[in-house]
A and B are shown apart, each in its own frame.
Chain A
Amino acid sequence: MKETPLTATHIALGARMAGFAGYNMPISYAGINPEHQAVREKAGMFDVSHMGEFIVRGKEALDLIQYVTTNDASKLEIGQAQYSCLPNNDGGIIDDLLIYRLAEDNCSEGERAYMLVVNAANIEKDWEWINQHNQFDTKLINISDQTGLLAVQGPLAAKVLQPLTKTDLDALAYYTFTKGTLAGVENVLISATGYTGSGGFELYADAEKTPQLWQAIMESGKELGLQPAGLGARDTLRLEMGMCLYGNDIDDNTSPLEAGLSWITKMNKPNFLSKDIFAKQKEEGVSRRLVGFTLNERRVPRHGYTIENESGQSIGTVTSGTQSPTLGYPIGLGYVEKPFHKQGTNIFIVAGKKRLAATVSRPPFLRKD
């Protein structure tokens, strides 16, 4: 089992550890609910160093990225990030990812540099896939093992981090980033992104320096209620916002258009993998949709449960489910056949012998006032 630079730190903190995507990762420290609440109300820090990072550099770096992803990366200025998908050849999703357009300090004339951030479970698959399609004048470098990643999330995240850096964090708009020195660690990529819906920052740094960053941030956040948070809370936080988790809600057999990701599937850019399939789906529509739903009772929906209509016919499958710690009732995501995807439709979740009444409800489940 692989470790992150902080695995020993988590164990020393008494975290409940488990294998995730081949890494020994913290699931929770104080409990999923208190960690979830800390992120919603104050701040939480996640070690997500298991995520993969690839550098794409060269004269045709943009051409490669445009060809293997669904969103329009030509829109990215230096210092901006973008959410996107890697499609396969059959209209499914190899992975979802973030694309960062990096500064061109180390580039020669005409070269561009990007960083792709991919799911830990898919690092090898993505690496092989992108390389296989790299018929461009561009080079890929896998920096996953040398790169640590901390996510400091929540309304007080800037307050926790600001004393540690000269970079003006409040000036960093959502989905932009900059390089800076933080807690004495140079060359930290400070990104105003996250997977919680509570705002905050993701900090990419040399793996070796990540423990130093963690310690300094914990110290700085002590008085503000910063809580170390694990993958358990990360999952409940993203689910309240209706964000997809690869392997649960999207995979090789789901189309981004079925998954509600048409906003990152851009047809007005040059050719890319599965473009024809997506164009057809956009024109003709898809037969099923990923929807959010809330339960009208106490049992909790789980990945793999069947979804039925009122007359008891199977119309789909649950892909994610949890008791929402903020809302106090069960929520879930799942694919249903059209027209059962419409807001307010009554559906039923089959949990063993029980049929649980649920209502289709457009995510995010948690709305800002």
Chain B
Amino acid sequence: MIIEADKQNQLFLATPIGLLKFCNKPNYPNMEFPAQLKYTEEHEWIRLEDNNIAFVGITDFAQSELDELVYIEVETVGETLGQNDVFGTVEAVKTTSDLFMPVSGKILEFNPKLDENEGDDPTTVNQDPYGDGWIVKIELTKPEEVSELMDADAYRALVG
């Protein structure tokens, strides 16, 4: 996820990844980085299930930096995408961010809790980024790519 909003706006919050470059290191005592997940530099996580199925979402760090999410758009269900391809967009009050595939795969499902045609509650991602706030379920087409991703310690070092 790259925070792309307000790209040309030198005065307000966001330079391209402005929100992720705050002056003070984040000091959120409850921030979690579950050990069973893999992470990307774009602040997505992936949780592997059996048979090359996986869930993908954004990290606790990402949701807290974005502030409250107001809309999540995923129009790629059924499509097979490559690693780092854009599979959706999240809108927070002040920021728009693209969502990137951590690995290649087919989009099987968009979390109905987030989908505007069903549950339509994007703040689920703020409340439970690694659980109920998963964004898409995918089927991996190149499972070997998982080994390129960061483990929890490496990701913590990146953001902490």
A304/B13 in contact, CB under 8 A: no
Check if A59 is an interface residue, CB within 8 A of chain B: no
Cα–Cα, bound, A11→B24 (Å) = 8
A246 / chain B contacts, CB cutoff of 8 Å = 11
B147 interface contact, C-beta 8 A: no
- Distance (Å) between the CB of B29 and the closest chain A CB? 9
Which listed residue, A27, A31, A298, touches B13 by the CB 8 Å rule? A27
Q: How far is the CA of A92 from the CA of B89 in the complex (A)?
A: 36
Contacts of A33 in B (CB 8 A): 67-68, 93
Enumerate B57-75 residues with CB–CB distance to A below 8 Å.
65, 67-68, 70-71, 73
A89, CB-defined interface residue at 8 Å? no
Report the bound CA distance from A250 to B22 in whole Å.
26
Is the beta-carbon distance between B94 and A322 smaller than 8 angstroms? yes
The minimal Cβ–Cβ distance linking A48 to chain B, given in whole angstroms, is: 14
Q: How many residues does chain B have at the interface if contact means C-beta atoms less than 8 Å apart?
A: 29
Contact of B12 among A11, A235, A298, A352 (CB under 8 A): A235
On chain A, the residues within 8 Å of B94 by CB distance are: 32, 232, 235-236, 322
What is the CA–CA distance of A19 and B92 in the complex, to the nearest angstrom?
20
Given the interface pairs A1-B23, A322-B93, A325-B93, the reply to whether A298 lies near B116 with Cβ below 8 Å is yes
Contact of A21 among B11, B19, B26, B93 (CB under 8 A): B11
Across the interface, B91 reaches (CB within 8 A) one of A14, A16, A323, namely A323
Residue of A nearest to B69 (CB): A323
Q: Could you tell me the distance between the alpha carbons of A32 and B26 in the complex, rounded to whole angstroms?
A: 17
Q: Verify A17–B73 contact, CB threshold 8 A.
A: no
On chain A, the residues within 8 Å of B36 by CB distance are: none
Bound-complex Cα distance A18 to B23 (A): 5
Interface residue A312 (Cβ < 8 Å from any Cβ of B): no
**B24: nearest residue on chain A (CB-CB)?**
A17
In the bound assembly, the distance between CA atoms of A20 and B10 in angstroms comes to: 9
Task: Please encode chain B, from 44 to 86, with 1 for each CB lying within 8 Å of some chain A CB and 0 for all others.
Answer: 0000000000000000000001011011010000000000000
- B11 close to A248 (CB less than 8 A): yes
In Å, the complex CA distance between A246 and B7 comes to 16
Q: Cβ of A17 and Cβ of B93 under 8 Å apart?
A: no
Interface contact A303-B23, CB-CB below 8 Å: no
Where chain A touches its partner, the secondary structure class is mixed
Contact B7 A304 (CB under 8 A): yes
Residues 1 to 22 of chain B near chain A (Cβ within 8 Å): 5-13, 18-19, 22
In chain A, what residue has the closest Cβ to B68? A33
How many Å lie between the Cα of A233 and that of B10 in the bound state? Answer: 18
Asked if A20 meets B12 with Cβ closer than 8 Å, knowing A299-B73, A300-B71, A302-B5, the reply is: yes
Closest partner residue, chain B, to A324 (CB atom): B93
Query: Are the CB atoms of A303 and B9 closer together than 8 Å?
Result: yes
- Contact residue among B8, B23, B93 (Cβ-Cβ distance under 8 Å from A304): B8
Known contacts A16-B22, A18-B23, A24-B23: A245-B6 contact under CB 8 Å:
no
Which chain A residue shows the least CB distance to B120? Answer: A298
Assembly CA distance A139 to B38 (angstroms): 63
> CB of B104 within 8 A of chain A?
no
The reply to whether the CB of A267 lies closer than 8 angstroms to some CB of chain B is no
User: In the bound complex, do residue A32 and residue B91 qualify as a contact, i.e. CB atoms below 8 Å apart?
Assistant: no
**Cβ of B40 under 8 Å from chain A:** no
Whether B96 sits at the interface, judged by CB under 8 Å, is yes
Contact assessment for A298 and B71 in the assembled complex, using a CB-CB cutoff below 8 Å? yes
How far apart are B22's CB and chain A's nearest CB, in angstroms? 5
A interface residue numbers (CB < 8 A to B): 1, 11, 14, 16-21, 24, 27-28, 31-33, 121, 231-232, 235-236, 245-248, 298-300, 302-304, 322-323, 325, 351-352
Contact sample, A vs B, 25 pairs, CB 8 Å cutoff: A1-B23, A11-B24, A16-B22, A16-B26, A18-B13, A18-B22, A18-B23, A20-B13, A28-B67, A31-B67, A32-B93, A33-B93, A232-B94, A247-B11, A248-B11, A298-B70, A298-B73, A298-B91, A299-B73, A299-B89, A299-B91, A300-B70, A302-B6, A323-B91, A352-B89
